[in-house]
Structure 1
C-alpha cells in the first residue's frame, strides 16, 4: 500500500484553492466517465462462479468434487484461513447463439494464475509456484470469438496460486461487448499500471533533481531529506508494478523488504517535515529512527509463520506515522501564517486522505485492492515544484531589487570615495611639501651647515691671520654649495655625470680639511661613465659632505681617507679617519642630527650603511646597488 511524499514553501492561498478545485473536478470527471461507460454497456450474460481448493501446487486439473459457490471479488483467506496453494475458480454462462464475439475482462487475480476457456488455454503466468509471479495488479482482456466462444454453456476456468496472507483470490470478471470491455480495460490499465509507472518515473526524476539541488546547497537539508524520501518511496512503490519477487526466493522476503522501506520512508518523512519548517526535534527524530530500526530488525528476524502478523503491525505503524505527519503539518500550517507548510497543505491533505483509504484497503475494511497513494504523489511532487518555482520568482524579485539598491549604494560609495580621494590628495600634497622642506633642511644642514662649521672652525683657529681674499674664498665656497643644491634639485630632470658633481665637492672639502690640519686623501675610480638622477647625486654628495663634516667636528683626527669606487653593479663610498672614535652600540639612541641624516639618506638611496668605530679608527661604508642603465 503506497504512501506519498511531501513538499516546500509558500504558494498563495488563492492558487491552492484553485488547485484543490481542479483536483476535485478531475475526480468528478473520472466518476462521470466510469458511470457513462457502465451505462453504455449492453446487458451481459449472468456468470455463475464456483471455487474449489486444490490438493497441491503442481496439479494441472481441478478436483471433481468440493465446488463451492462464491461471489467475486473473492479472497479465500476467510473461507480457508491460512491456506497457501492453488484454488480453482469456475465461471459458467449461457451464450446466445446470435452473438458472434464477446469481450472478457479479468480485473486481477492474486497472486499468479492460468486461464482457459472451454478447455482451451488463453493465458498463463510465468511462475505458478514460489517464487510466484506477482500478477495481482495486472488487468487482462481477451476478445472471445468462435471457436473459443460457443453458443450455449461456456466455462471459464481460472487457476489461482496464492498466499493467504496477501489477500489471495480472484477479482471481478466482466463479460460484455468488445468495445465496452476494451474501454473498461483501458481504464483499469491506466489506473493499475500506467499511472503507477508514471508516478514512479516522476519520483525518480524529482529525487534526482532535489538530490542535485541539495549537493549544490548543502545548508538546504530539507532538499536532501526530500530526495532520500523520494528514493525510498520509489523503491516502495515499485511493489505496484513488480511482476516478480526477484532477487528473493519467496514473496515473504519481498513483503519484508517492502514493509521495511515503508518504515524508513516514514522516518525520512518525519525529518523532512521538520527540516522544511526549519525546526529540529532530536528526541522525536531519534525515537522515530529507533522505532523504524526495531521494525526492520523484527521483520527480518520473524519467521515465515509469524511474518504475516508482524508485517500487518509494522505496516500500520508506518502508515499511521505518515498520516500523523500530514495531520501535524496541516495543523502547523493553520496556526502559523508564515509557515512554509502552507504551500503544501492542500497536497498533504490529499496524501492524508489517500493514506487513510489505503490503510482501510490493506486491513480489508474496504473491499478493494486499488491503492491511491502512489498516484497522490503527483500532487505532492507538483506542490514541491510549485514551491520551488515560487522561491525562484521571489529570488528573482530580490535580485532585481538588489540591483537597484546596489546601483544606489555604488553611486553613494563613489561620491564618498571621490571625497576621500580629494582629502587624501590634499594630505599627500601637504606631506610632499613637508617632505621637501625636510629634505631642504637636511641639504642645508649637510651642505651649508658643514661649510659654515668649517669656516667657523677656521675663523676660531686663526681669525687675525685671515686676509680679505681668504674670507672671500670662504664666501665663494658657501655660494658654490648653494649652487650645488640648486643644480641638483632645480629644473634639470636628466641624469648628470656623478664625477662632474663630485669634483667641486672634493676640492672644497679638501681645502677646508687641510685648513683645519686634517690630511684628506681621495681615491676615485670608474666614475667616468656613471650617470645618476639629480636626487641620487645630491644624496650621495650630501652623504660624503656630512661624513667629512662629522670628521671635522668630532673625530679630532689628523687624517681621513675617502674612497668612491664603482664596481659592476654597485657604488661604494667609504670615509675612514684616525680620530678618537665612539661606541657604536646604542649609537642610534644618542645619535645627533648628522648620524640620523646619514641613515636617512642611506634608506632613501636603497643602500646599505655600515659603521665601524674604535679608538684610532672610524669607518663609514655605503654600498648602493646600481641599475643597469646607470
Structure 2
C-alpha cells in the first residue's frame, strides 16, 4: 500500500492506515505463549518453500525486502509457552492476526485453520480485518509452529501484520478492540456520512440556490465511495487488485476536489468560481492518468498530487482566514490545521518514528461532519437572526408606510372633495348656461322682437318659464346625483323640450320638426338622457340666437342596441366652424363637446350657408 501513504495524510481516511497497521498490545504476562521466531520466504504458490528463508519482524512489508515482487510469501512462526515450568499442554491458546495483506491462509502445523476465498487475482482483501482462532490442545501437542501463506502485490505494501498468542479471553478482547477500530468505527463513519450526505442532497433539491449543501452531498458520497475500500473483503465487481486501486484513487481525487469546492462555498470566497474550473480540469487530467496509465506509478503520482492540492488549499484558506479574522473562517482554518496535524501524526506512526497502537484517522470523518454541522448551524442561526432583524425593520417600515399612506389618502380625500365641489360648480355653470341662460335669451328675444308692448300676463308667463327652468335645473341636479330613473320612452324624454321650445319657435315664425322613435332599443341612463336634453337645448338656443333659420329639425335615431344618434339641423346662414373654435368664441360649443366626451360620446359639427348639422354619437350602457 505504498502509494496510499499520501492518501493517509488526510483525516478523511477512516482507519485505512489504522486498520492495516493497527498496533495490538504487546505487553504480555510471563506465562503467556510467546513467539520465538518469524521467518519468511518466497514461494510459487501452495507449496511451502524449502530454502530462501529470512528472519523478519512483524508487522512485515515484504516490498522493502523484495521490491516489485507480486506473488506468494510463506511465513513460519515458531512459538512456545511463556512459563517454562508449566506444560500448558491441556490449555487452549488464543491466536490473533491483525491483518493479512492482501489474502492468505493460516495453518497450525498441517491443519488449515482458515483461508481467504481468493488467493489469486482477484485477490481477497484481509488487510483491514483482524482475525481470531482458538488453538485446541490437540494441535498444541503435535507442534507449536504456525504457517501463514500470504498473496499480495508489491505496490500495496504486502505482508503480514502482528501476530499475538495468549489466553482465549485475552486474545478475544484484543480481537474485539481491533475489530472496533478497523471495522466498526469506519462503518459508523460511512453510515453517518451517507445519512448526512442524503440530508444535504434533499436540502439542495428543495433549495437549489443553496449550492453549499449540494457540494456537501457530493463530498460525503465521494468519501463513502473511497471509505468502502476499508471494509471490502473481496475485489468484486473488479477483475483484479489494480482495478480496485484505480477506482479507489478516482474516488479519492474526486473527494479532494469536491472537498475543496465545498470549503470555498462554505466560506463564500469571491474567487471560488474561477478557482473551480482549473481544479476540475486538474481532476479530469488525473482521472485520465489513472485510467490510461498501464502501471502503478501513475496511481501513486495521482494520489500524491491530490494530497498536495489538499495541503495547499488548507494553507491558502488558513492564510485567508488569518487576514479576515472572523469566527467562521478561523474555525475552518483550525479544522484544516487539525487535519494536517492528525495526518502527520499517523504517518509518523506508520513509518515507525512514533510509537503507538492507536490511530486518530478513523475519527476524522465524524470530526469533519461535526465541524460542518456546527459551521452550517452557525450560518443558519446568523441567517435567522438577520431574517428576524429584517422582519422587525420591515414591520417598522410597514407601520411607517401605513401612516404615510393614511396621511396621503386623507390628503387625496380632501383633494377629491375639493375637485368634486369644483366639478359641481362647473356642472352648475354649464347647466345655467345651457338651461336657464337659454330661456333668458329666448325671453329677451321675444321682448325685443315684439312690436307692441307685452301685456302683464305675457311677462308673467315668461317669468314662470324661467322659474320652471330654475326648478328643473335644481331637480335635475338632485335626480342625477341620486341616480333617478330615466324616461321610459323617447316621447317622454322629448315632452319637456317640446313644451319649452314650441312657443318660442311659433313666436319667431320658425318651423321646428321633431323625429324620435316610439321606444328605446336599449334603455339609456338618467345621466345620458339629461346630457341629450342639455345638448338639444344648447343647439336650439344657438339656432334662435345666430342662425336666422326658417326651419330646424331634431332627429333621434337608434341604429343598433349599443348606439344612439342625435342630429340637430337648421337652414340658416351658417358659420365658419374653424374660425369660431380657433378664436375661442364658441363657449357653448366647447361645453357641449366636453360634456359629450366625458360620457364617452363624440360630437361633430358641419356648417355652410343653408345647412348646419350638429351630430352626437353616444354609446349606450355607459354613465
Which residue pairs with 1:243 in the alignment? 233
Give, in whole Å, the separation in 1 of the partners of 2:290 and 2:503. Answer: 114
Structure 1, unmatched stretches of 5+, are: 7-26
- Provide the C-alpha distance between the structure 2 equivalents of 1:568 and 1:613, rounded to a whole number of angstroms: 29
Which one of the candidate residues 28, 40, 45 is aligned to 1:51?
A: 40
Counterpart pick for 2:262 among 269, 272, 290? 272
Q: Which whole-Å CA distance do the structure 2 matches of 1:560 and 1:467 have between them? A: 29
Partner of 2:84: none
Report if the CA contact (8 A) 1:2-1:237 is conserved: no
CA distance in 1, matches of 2:241, 2:376: 40
Match of 1:482 in 2: 470
Matched-pair contact (CA < 8 Å) for 2:522–2:562: no
Bigger shift: residues 346-355 or 94-103: 94-103
Corresponding residue number in structure 1 for 2:252: 262
Q: Relative to structure 1, is the Cα distance of residues 63 and 618 closer, same or farther in structure 2, using a 3 angstrom cutoff?
A: same
2:512 matched residue in structure 1: 520
Between the aligned partners of 2:172 and 2:11, the Cα distance in structure 1 is: 33
Distance 2:257 2:523 in 1: 85
**Residue of structure 2 in register with 1:622 after alignment:** 617
1:319 maps to which residue?
307
Question: Cα gap change, 1:40/1:69 in structure 2, threshold over 3 Å: closer, same or farther?
Answer: closer
Superimposed CA distance per residue, residues 386-413 of structure 1 (whole angstroms, 9 cap, x where no aligned partner):
1222223333333444444444333333
Q: Cα–Cα, structure 1 residues 524 and 42, in superposed 2: closer, same or farther, change >3 Å?
A: farther
Once residues 463 and 2 of structure 1 are traced to their aligned partners in structure 2, the CA distance between those partners, rounded to angstroms, is 131
**1:546/1:258 Cα in 2 relative to 1: closer, same or farther (>3 Å)?**
same
Partners in 2 of 1:564 and 1:5 — Cα distance?
98
TM-score, normalized by length of structure 1?
0.83
For the structure 1 residues 569 and 274, does the alpha-carbon distance in structure 2 shift closer, same or farther, using more than 3 Å as the test?
closer
Distance 1:81 1:34, change over 3 A: closer
Q: 1:217 to 1:583 in 2, by over 3 A?
A: farther
Say yes or no: does 1:331 pair with 2:319: yes
2:151 is the alignment partner of 1:161: yes
Q: Is the 8 A contact 1:326 1:348 kept in 2?
A: yes
Q: Alpha-carbon deviations, 1:37-78, whole Å to 9, x = none? A: 9678973332432222111xxx33322333322211111112
Are the equivalent residues in 1 in contact too, given 2:106–2:113 (CA < 8 A)?
yes
Paired position in structure 2 for 1:352: 340
State the Cα distance separating 1:82 from its structure 2 match.
0.9
Q: Residue 141 of structure 1 contacts residue 182 of structure 1 at CA under 8 Å; is this kept in 2? A: yes
Displacement of 1:538: 2.6
- Note if 1:300 corresponds to 2:291: yes
Q: How do 1:46-85 and structure 2 match up within 5 A?
A: 46-55=35-44, 59-85=45-71
2:222 to 232, 236, 247: 232
- Structure 1, residues 142-191: CA drift from partner, whole Å, max 9, x if none? 233344x3236233222111001110111111111222222221221121
How many Å separate the matches in 2 of 1:268 and 1:350?
Answer: 19
Stretch moving more, 361-370 or 540-549:
361-370
Q: Is the 8 A contact 1:557 1:580 kept in 2?
A: yes
Change in 2 beyond 3 A, CA 1:68/1:495: same
Partner of 1:114: 105
| Within-5 A mapping of 1:459-608 | 459-462=447-450, 464=452, 466-490=454-478, 494-497=484-487, 499-500=491-492, 502-527=494-519, 534-564=526-556, 571-579=564-572, 592-607=586-601
Task: Tell me if 1:192 matches 2:185.
Answer: no
Q: Which secondary structure state, in structure 1, belongs to the residue aligned with residue 94 of structure 2?
A: strand
Question: Which stretch shifts more, 201-210 or 284-293?
Answer: 284-293
Paired with 1:579 and 1:572, the residues of 2 have a C-alpha distance of 22
CA–CA distance in 1 between the matches of 2:612 and 2:38? 133
Structure 1 position 103, deviation (Å): 1.9
1:290-334, Cα deviation, whole Å (9 max, x unpaired): 443333222322222xx2x33222222211222232233333333
Alignment partners' CA distance in 1, 2:29 and 2:323:
49
Mapped to 2, the partners of 1:625 and 1:420 lie a distance apart of 36
2:440 matched residue in structure 1: 452
Q: Distance in 1 between matches of 2:582 and 2:124?
A: 101
Query: How many pairs are equivalent?
Result: 596
Deviations 1:464-492 (A, max 9, x none): 56544444333322222111111112376
User: Which whole-Å deviations, capped at 9, do the CAs of 1:246-293 have from their partners, x for residues lacking one?
Assistant: 443222232233223333333333333333333244665554444433
Secondary structure at the aligned position of 1:134 is classed as: coil
Please tell me whether the aligned partners of residues 24 and 357 of structure 2 are also in contact (alpha carbons under 8 angstroms): no
Aligned to 1:380: 368
Give 3-state SS (helix, strand or coil) of 1:506's partner: helix
Q: 2:330: which partner in 1?
A: 342
Q: Is the 8 A contact 1:266 1:322 kept in 2?
A: yes
Is this contact kept in 2: 1:5–1:269, CA < 8 A?
A: no
Q: Secondary structure at the match of 2:140?
A: coil
Counterpart in the other structure of 1:10: none
Moved more, 326-335 or 423-432: 326-335
Rounded Cα–Cα distance in structure 1 between residues aligned with 2:226 and 2:185: 15
- 3-state SS, counterpart of residue 325 of structure 2: coil
Higher mean C-alpha displacement, 611-620 vs 182-191:
611-620
Q: 1:346 to 1:610 in 2, by over 3 A?
A: same
Kept in 2, the 8 Å contact 1:348–1:380? The answer is: no
Q: CA deviation at 1:124?
A: 2.0
Check the 8 A contact 1:277/1:339 in 2, yes or no.
no
CA distance in 2, matches of 1:314, 1:174: 36
C-alpha separation between the residues in 2 aligned to 1:515 and 1:259?
118
Note if contact 1:97-1:152 (Cα within 8 Å) is conserved in structure 2. no
Q: Check the 8 A contact 2:603/2:614 in 1, yes or no.
A: no
Q: Is the 8 A contact 1:4 1:377 kept in 2?
A: no
